[in-house]
Amino acid sequence: MSEFFLELFSEEIPSSLQKNLRKDLLDSFNKLFSEKFISFKKNSSYSTPNRLIIVFGGLQKQVVLKSEETKGPNINAPEIALEGFMRSNNISKKDLLKKLQYHCVVFYF
């Protein structure tokens, strides 16, 4: 098992804000880890006037991220449709993949 340790240095943080910052930072990483299906056994956060620290323990040594496939416009669609798809998904043309699908019918006797 591995650990993830993040320490952020900053100007002096008022003590009244430290608790909320610790909680918000930990919640943000919890959300990210759950979205990416990264499991952990324990987590904690700490702070000093100049530091915020989060620790996640019990992580797997290798994390395999699941790939996602987002279907875009048809290959024969106008170029403006492709540009709109790229803009809405924040991707560039080099990241696109043309995928041809063949349909076949199978009969069982």
How many domains in the chain?
A: 1
By C-alpha distance, which of 45, 53, 55, 58 is closest to 9?
53
Q: Is residue 105 part of a domain?
A: no
Joined together, the tokens standing for residue 33 give: 């880890």
Whether the model clears a pTM of 0.85, i.e. scores above it, the answer is no
Identify whether the C-beta of residue 70 lies closer than 8 Å to the C-beta of residue 93. Answer: no
Q: Which pLDDT does position 29 carry in this prediction?
A: 94
Q: Which pLDDT does position 28 carry in this prediction?
A: 95
Residue 32 lies in domain: 2-59
Under the banding of pLDDT at 50, 70 and 90, the label for residue 63 is confident
Pick the more confident residue, 91 or 23.
23
Q: Is residue 18 part of a domain?
A: yes
Q: What percent of the chain has pLDDT over 70?
A: 91
Q: Is residue 69 part of a domain?
A: no
